[in-house]
Structure 1
């Protein structure tokens, strides 16, 4: 906030010098007293309102120094991180490929995980992806953990289409969608905010990489069906109709899953599919309510209601009488 200094309202230059001195002498005791009382009153008010506060001068300068130090420390950390990223890129480049520039030393599997984390933008992560063919040309293969980490980082850096490009061109990049967790995560990264075509591409990759069909996985089926409801085109309605039947059957045959509420538990990667599933089901329930579609089969999942297997009948017990009570 900027403060402006106000100029004097009255000019004293035109007054006689003697009159000015006389007025100054007469008012000096009063001014001193007023200033003294004002300081006392201000101190009293400050003590009443902010009794635990320190004097106004020192904290401001100390806070400014602390803020500047934190900013400088953050900039230094960002600089070191960027330097480590480019050094590791150079290291991997020199030691991979058909003809390695440096034959001494080998690139470990963990180097890729480190590169994913050091990449701080979509451009840097794409630079890493362009190194993938060199790993394959070195006779090495990626593991499922690499696919999962790459998809996760693509979502964090808001570039899920990079994952679509890499997994959609296995002959070039050599990184396969070899994990159901990675495929499910990839679908989650595009189904809510991207065109339906991206979700359908991910669904097709399930088959390409010989993973279980999307319709057989409750979390994946719910996310893809939610994407179809959002699109509402003719093709989306056709696909959505088939997914609806599968999803309804799964939801009625399986006991509901409860996602954890604690933030520490929700941050665990193993809990993410359950969280994604319930979020998608709640979205589906809301859309069904607005469009007039039947939605009550979702209530055991989206609320804390008791679940019972489908096509089961529990006979009602007769009320107890006084003789049998």
Structure 2
């Protein structure tokens, strides 16, 4: 079963498992009128209520930020549409506008401007035009696209795009991107989505999913959350691999400072830590062995499992 995760040679195995496993203040700033102010001066316990003018002033203070937000959203929408049009006119086999070049950064800008899953899908449908222009996407595009899919809660869009490279031309070209893609589906999506991502590790010639601690832990959690026979079979193989790797390596602690945790490069350690804590919790609940994870989930000092303190022979005084 362990060979199942050598995905470079057998990605189709996980695709079959995937198909069987699946079946988405206002600050109240009342400006008192002269009459109310006088009443307040005369009687500190006055029950006088603000006039209609005061209520109107208060409502104005709440609409100002809302108007600013609406203006910002409108500007963002306009920028998105203009950039979509710009890229569309200057890419493809037959360019409508031959002057000017589309930079690589234009795609990153489009990902950020997209404010809904529908807009991000619109951008994805433009990917073939980039390939038809003789251009290639880079790893940063894959990583940014997956991150935006997760933020806009449409991870299945990433599955569709990376599962059809012949159409979209955006490859899962880095282990970081593949890890992030797995993170976006393993906890809340069906097991089949996680298995599809695991299969894509092999399709794109990345290291097997079981060889990466973070990916292995997340996929194992996905199996624990599923109650199918396929999940138990895959989970058993992952469990053995994960346990060996965790016991043989010193723990990697996720950062605690919010400024460091926000760094994109720190995310894999955070994902690994969260997955291991979930595994420990589930194992405790189900009665499965969990102490092998404790070095990673607590502050206990780690020691390789093959080290031990030999028992010294008892002295004569002890025998006496």
Same fold (TM over 0.5): yes
Aligned to 1:17: none
Distance verdict in 2 for CA 1:38–1:141, change over 3 Å: closer
Aligned to 2:290: 295
Counterpart CA distance in 1 for 2:54 and 2:131 is 58
Counterpart CA distance in 2 for 1:125 and 1:212 is 29
2:86 to 88, 91, 107: 91
Cα distance, 1:64 vs structure 2: 3.2
Counterpart CA distance in 2 for 1:130 and 1:103 is 21
| SS of equivalent to 1:146 | helix
TM norm structure 1: 0.80
Aligned to 1:286: 281
Aligned to 1:171: 166
Per-residue CA deviations over 1:49-94 (Å, capped at 9, x if unaligned) read xxxxxx9779866553332111111000000000000100000000
2:278 is aligned with 1:275: no
Aligned pairs (5 A) from 1:148-167: 148-167=143-162
Cα distance, 1:252 vs structure 2: 0.4
Counterpart CA distance in 1 for 2:41 and 2:96 is 77
Distance verdict in 2 for CA 1:42–1:85, change over 3 Å: same
Aligned pairs (5 A) from 1:213-228: 213-228=208-223
Per-residue CA deviations over 1:229-258 (Å, capped at 9, x if unaligned) read 100211111111110011001100111111
Counterpart CA distance in 2 for 1:36 and 1:242 is 79
Aligned to 1:185: 180
**Structure 1 spans left out of the alignment, 5+ residues:** 1-34, 47-54, 319-325
Counterpart CA distance in 2 for 1:104 and 1:114 is 20
Distance verdict in 2 for CA 1:195–1:56, change over 3 Å: same
Q: Which has the higher contact order (CA 8 A, sep 6+)?
A: 2
2:134 to 139, 146, 162: 139
Cα distance, 1:41 vs structure 2: 3.6
Counterpart CA distance in 2 for 1:210 and 1:291 is 36
Aligned to 1:42: 45
2:229 to 227, 234, 256: 234
Q: Point out the structure with max Rg over C-alpha.
A: 1
Aligned pairs (5 A) from 1:24-103: 39-42=42-45, 63-103=58-98
